[in-house]
């Protein structure tokens, strides 16, 4: 890391305490979803709220703010220094404009909401979760108003997760993807592309599946001393603001081993990003992935573009057969088509790569309506079901299959979902920019792929804004035509 400014050096020294609190908050959040007993939520939510208030207090300390303002005025800052100041200014904007009591209440409400969501999903009863979501939406509207926006309150929330992203950007992407996906689905149905496979109903031994996953991750190369694999109701990755401690989770439904396998590969993509950030950025504001869209591009790149390819299937088929004896009667082609079934489905995390972005479009539309106050929380289950039928031609039988399936609203992550589609778009651009990806995968040159990603994207952490980073890596900003071209070519 190139730090020449004495002011920036002092800022980084002061920032270590803020980093440590974020680190502690990350560990508490990971534990909440993996190991914490359910009745521990009272103390955990209070701890989350107090940590959030303390971080805000330290960020807004007058002497710290003056240092940031002083650094902004300095000439000849390095790229690293400009990135540090840019990231701190983003945090300052939030903390200056959003009152501490709102920050604390949001942290407390979302901690409690997670437990309510988990219970509601188990019972398929949205009414259990609805009061928490109503308060989350109210707080989210307050936050959007405090942050400010030019055209729509949702834009203020998008920017929290994807710097510089607006509803206009998202609308532009979906204006290309929605009709293109619909055309492709029609062609696949006419061609008789597989819509099901007997392996979807095949039970498997959980311990054997975990052993297979660990071997597959070993094939593509994960550093065991910096990496954990655990179980949670919803798979996720926690980077803990450090390239030295990255944790992923998966879940193991009783049938259909694709879900834990590809969840693990997906989360590996997230983890690899954090693990390959320049180590000199550790404990600083730029020592993290720059945005959720760029982060998602890494997970979707590994899960779909690498993981569901013919070349990768050939590499992992022997591993899977060793651990799952029932696969002995299935060929590599059988596995490939099992991995690449295309059909409208109810659950986003189980959706194929062709229909997946229609799930995101559904959530994007509902979130914009919620934030604008154009729909009531109580109306969401019916609206969800109607939109699902409109986009995918299927209708949930209960709330667990519909409006309760995702954890994100319980975390208060409204404005987050569009980054999933943005990630798919960027992943396809990376494939195009790499040039010979299919050949590299077929030859097992995973170290070469990882090094390309490290040099072009990972090592830079949050030094550059996401649009600039994508342009540097691929030659242009967000272009959804590469995603459509990839899908159309693959599913010929």
Q: Could you list the active site residues? A: 267
Is 33 labeled as ligand-binding?
A: no
Q: Answer for the pair 356, 378: CB distance below 8 angstroms, yes or no.
A: no
Dist CA 20 CA 25 (whole Å): 9
Query: Which residues contact residue 160 at a Cβ distance below 8 angstroms, ignoring those fewer than 6 apart?
Result: 94, 147, 415
Is 112 labeled as ligand-binding?
A: no
Strand partners, 238: 247
Dist CA 447 CA 427 (whole Å): 18
| Residue 246 backbone phi and psi in degrees, to 5 | -125, 135
Residue 275 structure tokens: 């693990």
| Residue 278 backbone phi and psi in degrees, to 5 | -50, 125
Dist CA 81 CA 93 (whole Å): 18
Dist CA 9 CA 16 (whole Å): 11
Strand partners, 227: 246
Residue 451 structure tokens: 């090094």
Torsion sign (Cα): 281, 287, 290, 296: positive
Residue 463, classified by CB atoms within 10 Å of its CB into exposed (0-12), middle (13-18) or buried (19+), is buried
Query: Which residues contact residue 306 at a Cβ distance below 8 angstroms, ignoring those fewer than 6 apart?
Result: 220, 265, 312, 437, 441, 449
Q: Where are the alpha helices (DSSP H) in 324-457?
A: 332-339, 356-371, 380-392, 418-434, 437-442, 446-456
Dist CA 113 CA 409 (whole Å): 9
Is 152 labeled as ligand-binding?
A: no
| DSSP H or E segment with residue 323 | helix 310-323
Q: Which residue has the tokens 């079934």?
A: 341
Residue 450 structure tokens: 């990882």
Binding site for Zn(2+): what residues are annotated? 266, 270, 296
């Amino acid at each position: 890391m190139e730090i020449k400014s004495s002011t920036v050096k002092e800022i980084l020294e002061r920032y270590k305490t803020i980093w440590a609190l974020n680190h502690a908050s990350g560990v508490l959040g990971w534990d909440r979803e993996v190991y914490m007993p359910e009745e521990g939520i009272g103390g955990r939510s209070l701890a989350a709220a107090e940590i959030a208030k303390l971080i805000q207090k330290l960020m807004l300390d007058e002497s710290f703010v003056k240092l940031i303002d002083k650094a902004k005025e300095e000439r000849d800052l390095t790229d690293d220094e400009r990135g540090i100041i840019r990231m701190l200014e983003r945090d300052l904007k939030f903390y200056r404009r959003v009152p501490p009591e709102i920050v604390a209440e949001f942290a407390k409400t979302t901690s409690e909401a997670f437990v309510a969501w988990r219970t509601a999903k188990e019972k398929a009863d949205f009414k259990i979760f609805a009061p928490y979501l109503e308060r989350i939406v109210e707080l989210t509207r307050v936050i959007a108003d405090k942050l400010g926006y030019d055209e729509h309150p949702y834009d203020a929330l998008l920017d929290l997760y994807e710097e510089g992203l607006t509803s206009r950007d998202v609308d532009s992407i979906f204006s290309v993807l929605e009709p293109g996906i619909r055309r492709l689905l029609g062609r696949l149905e006419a061609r008789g592309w597989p819509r099901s496979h007997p392996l979807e109903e095949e039970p498997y031994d959980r311990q054997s599946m975990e052993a297979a996953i660990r071997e597959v991750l070993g094939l593509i190369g994960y550093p065991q001393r910096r990496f954990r694999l655990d179980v949670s109701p919803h798979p996720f990755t926690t980077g803990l603001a450090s390239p030295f401690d990255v944790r992923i989770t998966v879940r193991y439904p009783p049938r259909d081993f694709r879900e834990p396998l590809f969840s693990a590969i997906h989360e590996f993509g997230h983890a690899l990003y954090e693990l390959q950030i320049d180590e000199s950025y550790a404990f600083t504001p730029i020592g993290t992935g720059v945005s959720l869209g760029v982060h998602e591009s890494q997970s979707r790149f590994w899960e779909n573009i690498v993981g569901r390819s013919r070349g990768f299937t050939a590499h992992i088929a022997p591993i899977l057969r060793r651990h799952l004896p029932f696969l002995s009667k299935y060929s590599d082609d059988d596995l490939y088509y099992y991995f690449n079934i295309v059909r409208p489905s109810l659950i986003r995390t189980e959706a194929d790569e062709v229909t997946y972005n229609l799930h995101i479009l559904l959530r994007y539309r509902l979130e914009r309506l919620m934030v604008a106050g154009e729909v009531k929380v109580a109306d969401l289950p019916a609206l969800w079901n109607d939109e699902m039928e409109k986009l995918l031609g299927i209708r949930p039988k209960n709330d667990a299959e519909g409006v309760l399936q995702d954890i994100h609203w319980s975390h208060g992550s409204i404005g987050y979902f569009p980054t999933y589609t943005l990630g798919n778009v960027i992943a396809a651009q990376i494939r195009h920019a790499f040039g010979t990806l299919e050949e590299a995968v077929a030859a097992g040159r995973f170290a070469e792929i990882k090094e390309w990603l490290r040099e072009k994207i990972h090592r830079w952490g949050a030094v550059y804004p996401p649009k600039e980073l994508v342009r540097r890596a691929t030659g242009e900003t967000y272009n959804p035509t590469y995603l459509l071209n990839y899908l159309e070519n693959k599913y010929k």
